[in-house]
Amino acid sequence: MSSALPYKISVLVFIENAAGEQLLMLRAKQPNLGVWTPIGGKLEMATGESPFECAVRETQEETGLVVTTEQLHLFAMIAEKAYQGHNHWLMFLFRCKLPIGALPPDMVEGTFAFFSRAAVDTLPIPETDKKALWPIFDQHKHGFVSLRADCSVAPIEIVVEQITAGQASNP
């Protein structure tokens, strides 16, 4: 039963360049070794770090881009049950409203590249990203959605728990 697995809390930050291309990292470590994902990381729970604080920290650590919480938009929360059979994850998804000026240098976590949104769908990306995260980004990046994904079954079961419409005119 998946309930005995540890629970981890993380953030993902969707960042674009001025041309509207998505910044993705080819992961060099687990989870998601060898696939492309937005940047992000785990909350420092021992310090009481909030998801917004974590998104600000991870953005600077992984890309060098310095942002404030006001330059981030929380557009989704997703609970993944039994991801890869190892952990449950509670993820907070942010859209960075500040474009990044240049490709960050490679790091121990992985290498970076920019991709058009259409090209993202052709890349090796995690199954949950393909089925849930990118469609959520496309539909709700200016609003908010909460959902859960049961990764312990095939196909993955995704349930939307709440949607708040946004205004597409937001930068």
- Do the domain assignments include residue 39? yes
Question: Does the pLDDT at position 3 exceed 60?
Answer: no
- Which one is predicted more confidently, 10 or 1? 10
Q: Which domain holds residue 63?
A: 2-164
**Which CATH number do you get for residue 8?**
3.90.79.10
Cα separation, 22 vs 168, in Å, equals 18
- Do the domain assignments include residue 11? yes
Q: Output the pTM of the full model.
A: 0.88
Cα separation, 171 vs 152, in Å, equals 37
Kindly report the average pLDDT of the chain as a whole number: 91
| pLDDT at residue 19 in the model | 97
- Do the domain assignments include residue 169? no
Q: What is the chain's Cα-based Rg?
A: 15
The total domain count for the chain is 1
- Do the domain assignments include residue 170? no
Backbone angles phi, psi at 42, to 5 degrees: -90, 145
Backbone angles phi, psi at 138, to 5 degrees: -60, -40
pLDDT in tens, 37-60: 999 999 998 999 999 999 999 999
* Cβ neighbourhood burial of 13 (10 Å; 0-12, 13-18, 19+): buried
- Do the domain assignments include residue 171? no
- Do the domain assignments include residue 14? yes
| pLDDT at residue 132 in the model | 82
| pLDDT at residue 167 in the model | 67
pLDDT in tens, 113-142: 999 999 999 999 988 788 888 999 999 999
- Do the domain assignments include residue 23? yes
